A and B are shown apart, each in its own frame.
Chain A
């Protein structure tokens, strides 16, 4: 089954109100082309699941796409906090379900394995349990010890960016550091949408089956998007765009400047080529791939 789609078609699989599990870290490996398309299609009331969210969370907050965040942290690391996200939370427009990393893993692990809950010993003693209906204390039936039961979370769709995929949805990554979300986000989600730096023939994947991280049967859409993680890093192909992050950090303090930024980089560029031209074209790309 051919799962290759345009990015418009792939993001068209997402409905308002759904929960999107987004691969990303502070400045790493975010499927930013899919994030921009969510904004362009004016999705509303989405929930967003991240282990650690970066610029994507800021953009989706600024554009009014998300109304809830489920995850462990939001930050752009050395570039600072995500101010549009902060403002949205402080203004009550985005509600936060803050989970420790083991608790998020437990909620998603239960979702992946069709279990109603999984336990963790994390978070005991914190204030995070009482305020969260998806967590409850439970006595171990064998020893009576207390654990935190974490209710299964099944996101409607996972967004993944990868190095290569074939048309059937088999997905490979290069032998580099493992993106933290890849181990559980796609397994827990009902649908999986993948952007890949390149779409290749299945024969290419068969040469290195150990590098395949998602089987085609568990993937619903594949879109070829070179530099699809820009401005986040995607090693070994390219690093994060420092100048672009600094530009965003600056404009994100001001709502008007923020909307102008989104206009320039998200709404106006009709294609990935247009977007790459807007962020500096070949010259910028060469800098990031050095």
Chain B
């Protein structure tokens, strides 16, 4: 019987090696696999390349992973965001490498990684600073940039519901990078708010087929924080 559930976050994170590329889903704290990131901090792998939309906010999650000196390189679309204190300090010291990627290109590079497309041309970034040092080509009159796929040794995902095959659905804006990241990991690890019996998630509504998923851990962490600005 296929059963991808593991009993603890520690079990979910077992075996992640130093120097791994780790994809971390989530957007604006929604659909972000915080328990798994904390588990990665606990687990101890270092010299990581982390791929996430931001360089972290505050002193938790990806920011803490960076703050503890475990990240060799961050690939993100927002390096400097409100409260990215830990990143700023370490970046100022030259202790982390930064690759800034337009957000849509970041999503597409991860999608390409999952879909076996090694590289693609995109008009995004054509004629800008971000095209420097990259192969470019004019296609249909527009300057396009050749971008490489991103694949993770590890992919960290938060789902709303999961079954034992690893079939996943997401909640509201918690979908964001999750289905894309889930498909692009050699080892895809999921924390899920809820557990479903096989068959409860019906064929028409499953967003991520379990084929993409390796391990699932039940983490009923509840709603993301409400921030009123």
A is bound by B:
no
Q: B residues within 8 Å of A by Cβ?
A: none
Residues of A within 8 A of B (CB): none
